[in-house]
Structure 1
Amino acid sequence: MGEAKKRLIERAGGIPCGEAEAHHAKLAFIALEDERAAKAAAMRLSRKGLLVNVADRPDLCEFTTPSILDRDPVLIAIGTSGASAGLSKQIRLRLEKLLPQTLGDLAAKLAASRDAMRARFPDGAQRRNALDAALAEGGTLDPLDPGSVDRVDDWLAAASDPEASQTVEIQLTSDDPEDLTLKQARLLGTADLLLHDPAVPTEILDRARADALRRELPYSGEPVCGLTIILRAAG
């Protein structure tokens, strides 16, 4: 297990060293079979100012390492806060089957096309909405389609202007975010402005984009270009 941790650090660009050089380090990984020895090492290195990870002993850990799915530059980390490394691994293996090897190439192509996208869609909200539509399930640039990377240039050349603004009202049926329909969850995830009743629970509001504007109803501010969601509380 110590060898596995060493490979993880080297892969991330870190430089492994022994305890004698701990004063140069920020993180400590401990892989010892003996519980008393592992606990003593954790206390010793923690006192030196290092954050400590102890293999197979989550109660001694000050941080945990997730299971990493690497589609460089796309990285997906699956963690369970130390509850079960095996569960993290099995989730990653399932995702490995779903996400094509070309996903990283698609990300790199989109990065290289940033200036072209700005020229095609000068307005930020329009640009975001056009990209959201292209990357959606079944869209021209669906991330789960291995051929999407080859369609970026054609999409930019042929993409039509998205609607400048759109307003959708959602009437909730319950306070449980799991009761949102797939369409409602998708709309919340793409909204630029979220207008909501004060009674709408935070758990549902948090399904919206982190950078979306949130305002309680009634709202008399300036309209926002893009997608506006009016969210009514259940009942």
Structure 2
Amino acid sequence: MHSLPIFLRLKARPVILLGEGAVRDAKARLLQRAGAIIVGEGDAAALAIVAIEDEDLAVAAVARLKARGILVNAVDRPALCDFTLPAIVDRDPVLVAIGTGGASAGLAKVLRQRIEALLPASLGKLATGLHSARGAIRARWTQPDQRRRAIDAALEGPLDPLRAQDGDAVARWLAAPDIRFDAGLVTMVLRSDDPDDLSLREARLLGQADTIFHAPDVSAAILARIRADAARVIAAPSEPLPAGLSIFLTRRDEA
């Protein structure tokens, strides 16, 4: 991973913006949408964007800013960048950011356009509804692992984020008398070392499991699909099993 994706809250915070013309104006609009205060080079700030067309002037400006400990984005000069600006899909409060590390802004743009077509306009309302229902969710499922699995199951079913949802969707889900979700041990027989051969359900379970048991020769590409904070055990499962959802990954030739 070449960069750490983060979301910065810039509301009422100063950001240095240097340059002129259309590129500079586009960056100014982006910063203004985020609530940042645009300032000049002599002002105090933690971030700066250099949108200067002349190469020598741009390089010199970047050097001056970095000497002050300021993180810099140099437009169209990825080698000089401390951070890059992604293509953004905005479904407030949901934000999807697509970055290529400066390799291709065109590729990021096309990916953004494809994702824009997938995500309904109501996605932000769904996120807001889940936020507002946090108290009710905690009351119904008192254990963190139960809450996570219940929400995962809902987002795979009645609260599918890729379907248009009305404002009462979360309330209807919580009002259901019987809400089930995956738990216990699931044995998953891998067809190959290629993660593209995983079924949709298999990929979903790998992203939800609390504990993964696996042989040492399971491919790194498959293991990369596991939830980042899941426990990993290089062994077959044994009794007693840990609480929550566990998966035993085995290869077809070992099953």
Structure 1 length normalisation: TM-score? 0.89
What are the ranges of 5 or more consecutive residues in structure 2 without an aligned counterpart? 1-22
Residue 82 of structure 1: which of 82, 90, 102 is its match? Answer: 102
Report deviation, 1:192: 1.8
Report deviation, 1:174: 2.2
CA distance in 2, matches of 1:62, 1:37: 18
Distance 1:99 1:82, change over 3 A: same
1:6 partner letter: A
Residue in structure 2 matched with residue 2 of structure 1 by the alignment? 24
Residue in structure 2 matched with residue 11 of structure 1 by the alignment? 33
1:124 partner letter: P
Say how many residue pairs are matched.
Answer: 231
CA distance in 2, matches of 1:234, 1:199: 12
What are the ranges of 5 or more consecutive residues in structure 1 without an aligned counterpart? none
Residue in structure 2 matched with residue 99 of structure 1 by the alignment? 119
Residue 195 of structure 1: which of 213, 216, 227 is its match? Answer: 213
CA distance in 1, matches of 2:25, 2:209: 46
Higher helix share: 1
Q: Given the alignment of the two structures, is residue 146 of structure 1 paired with residue 146 of structure 2, yes or no?
A: no
Report deviation, 1:231: 0.6
Residue in structure 2 matched with residue 216 of structure 1 by the alignment? 234
Q: Is the 8 A contact 1:126 1:161 kept in 2?
A: no
1:26 partner letter: A
CA distance in 2, matches of 1:124, 1:162: 15
1:156 partner letter: L
Instruction: Tell which has more relative contact order, 1 or 2 (C-alpha 8 A, sep 6+).
Output: 1
1:118 partner letter: R
1:202 partner letter: A
Q: Is the 8 A contact 1:126 1:162 kept in 2?
A: no
CA distance in 1, matches of 2:181, 2:83: 45
Q: Provide the alpha-carbon RMSD of the alignment.
A: 1.9
Structure 2 length normalisation: TM-score? 0.83
2:33 partner letter: R
Aligned with 1:19: secondary structure?
coil
Report deviation, 1:34: 1.3
Q: Is the 8 A contact 1:165 1:224 kept in 2?
A: no
Q: Given the alignment of the two structures, is residue 71 of structure 1 paired with residue 91 of structure 2, yes or no?
A: yes
CA distance in 2, matches of 1:59, 1:113: 45
Residue in structure 2 matched with residue 167 of structure 1 by the alignment? 185
Report deviation, 1:164: 7.2
